[in-house]
Amino acid sequence: MKQTVLLLKTLLLSTSQRNIYKYTADRKKKSKIVGGTIGTVLLYAMLIGYCILTCIGYGVTGMIDSAPVMCALTVSLLAFFFTLLKTNGYLFNFKEYDMLMSLPFKTETVASAKFLYMYVKSLPWYLSISVAMLIGYGIYAHPAVFVYPVWIVLSLFLPVIPMLIAAFLGFLTAKVSAGFRKTNIVQTILMFAIIIFSFSLRFIIESIFKNNQVEDVLEKTSEMTQNAARIYLPAGWFSDAVTKHSVLSMLLLAGVSALLFAVLFRIVGGSYRNINSALKSHAASKNYRMTAQKKRNAVNAIAFKEFKRLTGSTAYMTNAAAGEVMAALLGILTLIIGFERIVRIVIQDAPVDVAMLRPAIPFIIYFFIGMVATTVCSPSLEGKNYWIVQSLPLEKKTLYQGKMLFNMYLTVPFMAFATLCMCISAKVPAAETALYLLEGFVLCAFSTTWGCVCGVRHMRLDWENEIEVVKQGTGVAIYMLPNMFVVMGLVVLVVILGLRMDHKLVALLFTLIAGLLAALSYRRVMNLAKKQ
């Protein structure tokens, strides 16, 4: 354990933004760290505010006793999903693998240190949720004083078990992938399957409770949390420790977490080297033949390079292409189930005319397509090879034009397919369908250019693990969160305008607005390219 802690401390120090700010002389790097810190603090504030308001809602409706279970379930679900998406970049196929494995440490020590590193880096998010819900719980439940430190200490153990479960699933995925020649493709397919199944759990759980015909919302929510606590034991242990002051529950949560940690990395250690070696190797075709190389212009060549970069990284692909896959699946489901039926499921059979939601179709598709643009990550993913880019006889604007072109190649076909499926299912007239396709194209252009602004403006080249760029980068956060919240607001606005205006005029209006924003973002990218 001492070796694990030593290795963990070294990993944290080597990637510490505080150390970089303290010792670097580069003012631009310092300003980026300050900007990133401010953005992170704002995100924490939003999350804390939301959790406090949630607990206030529980208190007002008389369900404050369910707050501990809800806290445990929220933290556990987030820990599971975050770990599931990060396992490939943190535990397997990471760049500093050769360096770490050359050190005098056992394989299980390296694997456990990498897991703890992932845990420590994500812990502030989990504690923000837990402490915020503790504040709301304290306002209404007025627990004993010792409950506060117990809650906080047990919150340190809450994410461990779901993280271990997700890491084990990632281990199994990597182990299966290591047996195939195309390891990245197989691993990506398996990860997509797990992600899609996880998102579908919401509807599975909802159908289960609908079959029980629970009509009262308060009783339904209370019953859900209690059932979940009985199924997922750590949530029940946390709740009993806080509400019933059960010492046994405290010991079970801490002890089982530690025991599973030790057992898991004993298992992982036996196959750790083999899996990483297989994932980092590349198979060569036996019947390979040298053929004439295709000629491409510079912009298309850069776009093709971005395609190879995307397909060569599981973490990058599952992050950047997940929205496109979900948009395509939504389009297929719309054709099979029907637009009206899907809307009824989402709005819980509320008395709403489905036709009024037609103008929102481009924004519903864009919610998935524009989730994460490749242009947010690709400038930073050049990493330590950026000097090669600098030495090429290319202008920076050409480089960024190629990166933006690839994102258009990726997003537009999925957008067109999903939009056509939804328009056919919703029986949208041909003229409106054409306008929705044009609006979707312009929204893809905005996503591409705005993502490139965020990616270039907050470029980070000193990363050791691509997860730090793909999932935790400042540019990704600045692009993704405001973009998603704005889109949800625009869906409501479009529906309201659609009640007072012709749907074709609404589509033209938002096409012009999105086109203007895309043009401004493109101009900003070109200006940033000149300054580099």
Given this model, what pLDDT does residue 337 score? 85
Question: Within a 13 Å sphere around the CA of 40, how many CA atoms are in the beta-carbon half?
Answer: 15
Q: Band the pLDDT of 523: cuts 50, 70, 90.
A: very high
Place of tokens 């395609």: 307
Out of 210-214, 340-344, 470-474, 505-509, pick the least confident: 210-214
User: Helix, strand, or coil here: 272?
Assistant: helix
- Band (180; pLDDT cuts 50, 70, 90): very low
Local confidence band at 360 (pLDDT 50, 70, 90 cut-offs): confident
Where does residue 14 rank: exposed (0-12), middle (13-18), buried (19+ CB within 10 A)?
A: exposed
Whether 104 contacts 129, CB under 8 Å: no
Residue with tokens 């299966």: 176
Q: How much is the average pLDDT of 22-35?
A: 77
pLDDT-derived band at 212, boundaries 50, 70, 90: very low
Average pLDDT, integer, range 254-270 = 82
pLDDT higher at 170 or 379: 379
DSSP 168-237: HHHHHHHHHHTTSSSHHHHHHHHHHHHHHHHHHHHHHHHHHHHHTT---HHHHHHHHHHHHHHHSHHHHH
- The pLDDT, as a whole number, for residue 6 is 83
Q: Which residue has the higher pLDDT, 204 or 340?
A: 340
Query: What is the structure's pLDDT at 217?
Result: 46
Q: Give residue 408's pLDDT.
A: 93
Average pLDDT over residues 112-132: 87
Separation of alpha carbons 237 and 225, rounded Å: 13
> What pLDDT, on the 0 to 100 scale, is given for residue 205?
45
Q: Which of 61-65, 118-122, 417-421 has the lowest mean pLDDT?
A: 61-65
Q: How many residues belong to the chain?
A: 532
**pLDDT tens across 412-460, in order?**
999 999 999 999 988 888 999 999 999 999 999 999 999 999 888 888 7
183-201 confidence digits (pLDDT tens): 455 555 555 565 555 555 5
Backbone angles phi, psi at 337, to 5 degrees: -85, -40
Least confident of 78-82, 88-92, 165-169: 88-92
Q: ∠ CA(495), CA(498), CA(504), 5° rounding? A: 125
Cβ–Cβ under 8 Å, residues 238 and 257: no
Q: What is the three-class DSSP state of 167?
A: helix
Concatenated DSSP letters of 471-485? TT-HHHHHHHHHHHH
Calculate the alpha carbon distances from 150 to 59, 133, 146, 200, 452 in Å.
Answer: 21, 14, 6, 34, 45
Over range 304-312, report the average pLDDT: 81
More confident residue, 337 or 102: 337
If you average pLDDT over residues 333-359, what whole number do you get? 73
Report CA-CA distances (Å) from 369 to 159, 293, 361, 427.
30, 33, 12, 22
Other CB atoms within 10 Å distance of the CB of residue 205: 13
Q: Where are the domains of the chain?
A: 2-280, 300-531
Tokens 């900007």 correspond to 35
Dihedral of the CA atoms 461, 464, 465, 470 (nearest 10)? Answer: -10
C-alpha–C-alpha distance, residues 246 and 254, integer Å = 13
pLDDT range class, residue 56, cuts 50, 70, 90: confident
pLDDT (0 to 100) of residue 209 = 45
Q: Which two tokens stand for residue 521?
A: 């973002």
Q: Which of 56-60, 224-228, 389-393 has the lowest mean pLDDT?
A: 224-228
CA dist 76 and 160 (Å) reads 8
Give CA separation, 188 vs 93, 116, 192, 215, 310, in Å.
13, 24, 6, 41, 11
| More reliable by pLDDT, 470 or 373 | 373
Residue 223 pLDDT more than 80? Answer: no
Looking at residue 218, its pLDDT comes to: 45
- State pLDDT tens for residues 157-176: 989 898 888 888 777 766 66
Task: Tell which residue, 83, 63, 69, has the closest CA to residue 125.
Answer: 83
Chain centroid, CA 442 distance in Å: 24
Q: Is 348 left (phi over 0), alpha (psi -120 to 50) or beta?
A: left
CA 327, CA 342: separation in Å to the nearest integer? 14
Query: Which has more pLDDT, 344 or 253?
Result: 253
In whole angstroms, what is the distance from residue 252 CA to residue 233 CA? Answer: 10
Q: What letters, b where the CB count within 10 A reaches 16 and e where it falls short, cover 57-92?
A: ebbeeebbbbbbbbbbbbbbebbbbbbbbbbbbbbb
The pLDDT assigned to 208 comes to 42
- What average pLDDT does the chain have? 78
Rounded mean pLDDT of 125-131? 89
Residue 204 has a pLDDT of 46
Other CB atoms closer than 10 Å to residue 453's CB: what's the count? Answer: 23
pLDDT value of position 276: 64
Residue in the block written with tokens 């489901």: 333
